[in-house]
Amino acid sequence: MKLTGSQIMMEVLKSEGVDTIFGFPGGAVLDIYDALDKTDIRHILVRHEQGAVHAADGYARASGKVGVCLVTSGPGATNTVTGIASSYMDSIPVVVITGQVPSHLIGNDAFQEVDIVGITRPCTKHNYLVSRIEDLAVILKEAFHLARTGRPGPVLVDIPKDLTSASIEFECPKDVRLKSYNPNYKPNMRQLKKVVQLIQEAKRPMIFSGGGVILANASKELTEFTHKTRMPLTSSLMGLGAFPGTDPLWLGMIGMHGTYRANMSTSECDLLISIGVRFDDRVTGKTDAFAAQANIVHIDIDPTSIRKNIPVSVPIVGDCKISLEQLNRLIDEIDLGDLSKRRGEWLDLIEQWKNTNPLAYTQDEIIKPQYVVEKLYELTGGEAIITTEVGQNQMWAAQYYHFNKPNHFITSGGLGCMGFGLPAAIGAQVACPDKMVVDIAGDGSIQMNSQEMATAVQFNLPVKIVILNNGYLGMVRQWQELFYEKRYACTSMEHCPDFVKLAEAYGAIGLRAVTPEEVSPVLKEGLSIPKPVIMDFTVAKEEGVYPMVPAGAPITEMLLV
């Protein structure tokens, strides 16, 4: 069967189960778009290419599938870089397809030519410049294989325009074989047996789970392991939802804005079983003081992550799901005795730390942002998919919305990318049309990609945006308050748009609350409307996110108020 390069692309995408592409057309990809128009693959037209990658990212996180985006050459390609970097930092499987100038013009500074392969090499798992149409199908298959296997991540495929219109005889490749790429999924059993021995000996053990557990679809196994061993559990930002946030063994998030009990428990434990984490600096604080009394076990599919930031006692390279399954089997084979009695003193100490309740706040005559998030949790029953922008809004969402399921908290963790939440919510809503999807945003970050409201309206995607509007770039302002003697240099957002009118201008619904009494009614109304809705909450201008660990300090040195 003789097909053009563009038709070959469609055949490969269908063979990979792709049902949705997020993108923005341009000259170098016109043939691809023409072929796409003749398929049943859904195309979501974004308003900015950065939004396309964030939407594909949100789609991937919510669905567990590979997200796909398609953009043109030059500025279309360069506009994807921030989204690619965010996906890379959080290990999200995304395939980014970029158009390129015709092969014979590459290197000639042709119109809308950039070396996007060179530009994205540091922030992709792998990338390709297709030089022969004969290689196109195999490269696309490899891209999907690389994106979804091992430690997932974004893969970019750059396709010159002449290859999209050229024709060859086509047969879809079935198998992908990369000699130099063989992720190790099976953990070493001897190492796992060491872990079981440490569990038996430990007096103050705990578990630290991360985003790798969610990516491995290992939440069930993690919960089983935690309950069998009666070990309290903390999580990184990216790991929220892997373990039920309402479980008695849940300690809350760890790190710079983690709970008092999570940070203190980590610092006092004698065994820390770390699963699918990378020991980010926002988690560890001062590294030589992190879990200094503990034997540290580190389970991760990426061998380069182990001992990268924190020395560990028992390194285990393997898939989180398989590793936890094996650990659960090993635990079943031994007698752990009366764990409630053995762990009693440790659990009592943790209960004392819980009772310090550093997440308490006082709701007075001005709306507190924490109150908005708590009411949102109550009204949604914790069932909504929550995306966030970045900053204070992100941390309040992590602290006050209790996630009981994986794939329900979608945020830019590693890169901390403002403008992520709305397009990610669009992607999540496309992936999960029957779910409530809410973007918790700040008045600064929502403006980074607010144009994607047009995308939500055009495609009838009923995403909800909850803006915690404090008139500042809130997290930066908080640092200026604490460490720069309240010199609020360039953080005032006094001249924001009227977000209610902005919603209406896009054909969406806009609502506003300015008093605490209006919070619940506005949320109830906004959540009930089957259209895109912006809910603007005027909140306390100088409210801070606490606890807070100053940069470089041990995580025990928390500012609590």
Annotated active-site residue in 11, 16, 49, 374: 49
> Given this structure, which CATH class describes domain 189-354?
alpha beta
Cα distance from N-terminal residue to C-terminal residue, the chain: 69
pLDDT for 356: 83
Contact criterion met (CB below 8 Å) for 519 and 367: yes
CA 320 to CA 326: how far, in whole Å? 10
pLDDT for 344: 86
Provide the token pair at 489: 């240099």
User: Can you name the CATH fold of 369-538?
Assistant: Rossmann fold (3.40.50)
Annotated active-site residue in 65, 141, 161, 321: 161
pLDDT band at 355 (very low <50, low <70, confident <90, very high): confident
> Does residue 112 carry a catalytic annotation?
yes
Contacts (Cβ under 8 Å, ≥6 apart) of 389: 418, 419, 420, 421, 422, 439, 440, 441, 442, 445, 446, 448
Q: Given CATH 3.30.70.20, say whether it is the number of domain 2-169.
A: no
pLDDT tens sequence across 363-418: 999 999 999 999 999 999 999 999 999 999 999 999 999 999 999 999 999 999 99
The pLDDT of residue 339 is above 80: no
pLDDT tens sequence across 491-507: 999 899 999 999 999 99
CA 242 to CA 223: how far, in whole Å? 8
Q: What is the mean pLDDT of residues 310-317?
A: 97
Annotated active-site residue in 89, 256, 453, 475: 475
pLDDT for 299: 98
Provide the token pair at 448: 């980074």
> Does residue 161 carry a catalytic annotation?
yes
Q: H-type helices in 166-319, by residue range?
A: 189-201, 211-215, 219-229, 260-268, 281-284
Q: What are the sequence ranges of the domains in the chain? A: 2-169, 189-354, 369-538
Annotated active-site residue in 14, 112, 405, 518: 112
The pLDDT of residue 338 is above 90: no
The owner of tokens 């809410």 is 438
Q: What is the mean pLDDT of residues 535-556?
A: 97
pLDDT tens sequence across 455-493: 999 999 999 999 999 999 999 999 999 999 999 999 999
pLDDT band at 116 (very low <50, low <70, confident <90, very high): very high
**Average per-residue pLDDT in the chain?**
97
> Does residue 169 carry a catalytic annotation?
no
Query: Comparing 2-169 with 189-354, is the CATH topology the same?
Result: yes
Annotated active-site residue in 111, 134, 504, 524: 111
> Does residue 89 carry a catalytic annotation?
no
Q: What is the DSSP secondary structure assignment for residue 122, as one 8-state letter? A: G
> Does residue 493 carry a catalytic annotation?
no
